[in-house]
Structure 1
Amino acid sequence: MADYQYQQPMATQGMSFSPGGNRNAKSLPYDSNGEREWSNGICGCFDSFGTACLAIWCPCIAYSRNKSRVEYLEKKGVAHPDGGDSCTGDCCCYTTLGLFGFGWILQMGTRAAVRTRYRIKGGGFGDCCTAWCCTCCELTQESQELELEEQSLTGR
């Protein structure tokens, strides 16, 4: 008699689901590493004039709003109902560091979180240089990227 070997079925990986909206609303091409460019250039900050003004005169609030928006999208998969939290502990921390010229250090972490969420090219050194050299443009660029996903969620 022949000996038969039976093989157990192998588990297959299920579909993965990332909550949230369209993370590439402008359909920008991805490179071989699966990364893309920012949807708006760093010098395109004045396309969002109100956000740019907020980032120039109250960067602590712009930072706090961006951080709370990206965290809310990560946790809940929907847009922050208030457009971000303004006066938070993050805002106070940014203000304190900003008094000594170091508020930009906090921006690096949020910029990295945004880059990771949207699979945007870049690294820590670029984040550092962008946050240090042009705080208001960096904050506005992050806000614009978040806004594109939020608009895809709300259908605006």
Structure 2
Amino acid sequence: MASDSENVNFILISNEPKWSNGFCECGVNKCTCCITCCFPCITHGQIAETLDEGKSSCCWQGCLYFLLMGVSGHWVLYWMYRNKLRAKFGLPVEPCGDCCIHFCCESCALCQEHAELKHRGLDPSKGWVGQPNAPPQFPPLMYR
């Protein structure tokens, strides 16, 4: 006769963090997809401002992108911020290395990063407004 411990089936649950969207799922948010395809400097600026927690501005990062685009070096900037995003949330290197992803298809990579931040409660299109679970800030009471 079998004991209860022999009839137990084990289910392994992975606690390993994963990307919320796949690499080629850029069309999930059509607005972000269109902006990224036409003006990738805007999407990059939004992502950079959010990852830098407001220490750099969307405008500054967008201008830096535009300057680097003139010498075909803008993918290096993207690579640095994708690496920063992965380190911050412990995300895996998928589907290949960060440098390769941005060099081959920067629009898909930017859309994936934008969606990841949004999934984690940080909406890059709104700019840096603080941590997502920080208590709301109320204005001081007015006295006469």
What is the TM-score normalised by the length of structure 1? 0.63
What residue in structure 1 maps to residue 85 of structure 2?
114
* 1:153 to 2:97 alignment: no
What residue in structure 1 maps to residue 142 of structure 2?
none
> One-letter code of the match for 1:67?
A
**Once superposed, which parts of structure 1, at least 4 consecutive aligned residues long, lie more than 6 Å away?**
none
What residue in structure 2 maps to residue 51 of structure 1?
32
* 1:87 to 2:59 alignment: yes
Cα separation, 1, equivalents of 2:14 and 2:76: 30
> One-letter code of the match for 2:31?
G
Taking the TM superposition and a 5 Å limit, the aligned residue runs for 1:58-137 are 58-72=39-53, 85-88=57-60, 90-122=61-93, 126-137=97-108
Question: How big is each residue's C-alpha offset from its partner over 1:68-105, in whole Å with a ceiling of 9 and x where there is no partner?
Answer: 011218x8xxxxxxxx95322x2111101112322111
CA 1:36–1:101: 2 relative to 1, 3 Å: same
2:14 to 16, 29, 32: 29
Q: Percent identity?
A: 29
Cα separation, 1, equivalents of 2:40 and 2:75: 9
Report how far residue 121 of structure 1 moved. 0.9
Secondary structure of 2:24 counterpart: helix
Q: Which has the higher contact order (CA 8 A, sep 6+)?
A: 1
What is the TM-score normalised by the length of structure 2? 0.68
What residue in structure 1 maps to residue 138 of structure 2?
none
> One-letter code of the match for 2:58?
S
Question: How big is each residue's C-alpha offset from its partner over 1:113-135, in whole Å with a ceiling of 9 and x where there is no partner?
Answer: 11011111128x71001001111
Cα separation, 2, equivalents of 1:59 and 1:85: 15
- Once superposed, what is the RMSD of the aligned Cα atoms? 2.5
Cα separation, 2, equivalents of 1:68 and 1:86: 5
Q: How many residues align?
A: 112
Gaps of 5+ in 2: 1-12, 123-130, 134-144
Cα separation, 1, equivalents of 2:14 and 2:110: 23
Cα separation, 2, equivalents of 1:85 and 1:148: 21
